[in-house]
Structure 1
């Protein structure tokens, strides 16, 4: 019985290792290649939001001041750019953005407003932009050192 076991195992091993002679490339269907190529083209046809800078430091400001900064961007992609929303990380940051599509090669401006009332000391905030880009989200950052109001009293 032991004499038959070794040849049987060897025969099974040879059957399994030689039965898969087909090349993997022979199994690829032409229609799947076409679908993959079309998906690659779709990604290349998306808009790209390229900012001249993605952060701004307002420096030292007094508590209660409202400061604004325009962030300029260019659509460096191959399709119209549509900004869906631009939301600040808190209610003190407001954004104004173009509501119309931005054509490829065109320049747009996103205005970020920061209200420092009730926000003493170092403040860092983000604005998250939702758009039809490949990533879907872009982020801008602002910073300010807010000098606290002198409280009257005692």
Structure 2
């Protein structure tokens, strides 16, 4: 009987420990091909699918060119939360960066990614516009 009680207690403890979970709509955001100096802010949206509040303790990016912003308040069960990420689009070329989230969720460390290509070129539409304006 003691062993059955011990197993039951361990099961309840492990269940309550795993009660905080979140589900991201996307774990990778692809900026695609964007122009130098374009808006580099993107948002990762998630939902607390557990039965306890999720507290994001901190977020760390893989380099200084990526600045994440965490929610300040706990995300209650069933609620949505956002993590804003700003990438420095003044750096021309391809990029692939990671954002590591530290929280009280079941998966205490979660890695999200951003990627894309920053182009230095002027688009054909801008060139056509510049040419047509110079003819006037």
TM-score w.r.t. length of structure 1:
0.70
**Two-structure CA RMSD over aligned residues (Å):** 2.2
Greater mean deviation of Cα atoms: 78-87 or 31-40: 31-40
Q: CA deviation at 1:54?
A: 1.1
Q: Which whole-Å deviations, capped at 9, do the CAs of 1:108-149 have from their partners, x for residues lacking one?
A: 1111100033x3311001111111111201121111111248
Specify the alignment match of 1:82 in structure 2: 55
**C-alpha separation in 1, matches of 2:45 and 2:9:** 36
Specify the alignment match of 2:124 in structure 1: none
Q: CA deviation at 1:51?
A: 0.8
Q: CA deviation at 1:64?
A: 4.2
Matched, 1:94 2:62: no
Q: CA deviation at 1:66?
A: 4.6
The structure having more radius of gyration, on CA atoms, is: 1
**Aligned partner (choices 7, 10, 33) of residue 36 of structure 1:** 10
**C-alpha separation in 2, matches of 1:132 and 1:69:** 24
**Aligned partner (choices 92, 95, 111) of residue 123 of structure 1:** 95
Specify the alignment match of 2:87 in structure 1: 114
Aligned residues of 2:21 and 2:107 also touching (Cα < 8 A): no
Consecutive unaligned residues in structure 2, runs of 5 or more: 122-136
Specify the alignment match of 2:107 in structure 1: 135
**C-alpha separation in 2, matches of 1:129 and 1:40:** 22
TM-score w.r.t. length of structure 2:
0.78
**C-alpha separation in 1, matches of 2:100 and 2:37:** 24
Specify the alignment match of 1:147 in structure 2: 119
**C-alpha separation in 2, matches of 1:104 and 1:32:** 29
Consecutive unaligned residues in structure 1, runs of 5 or more: 1-25, 150-154
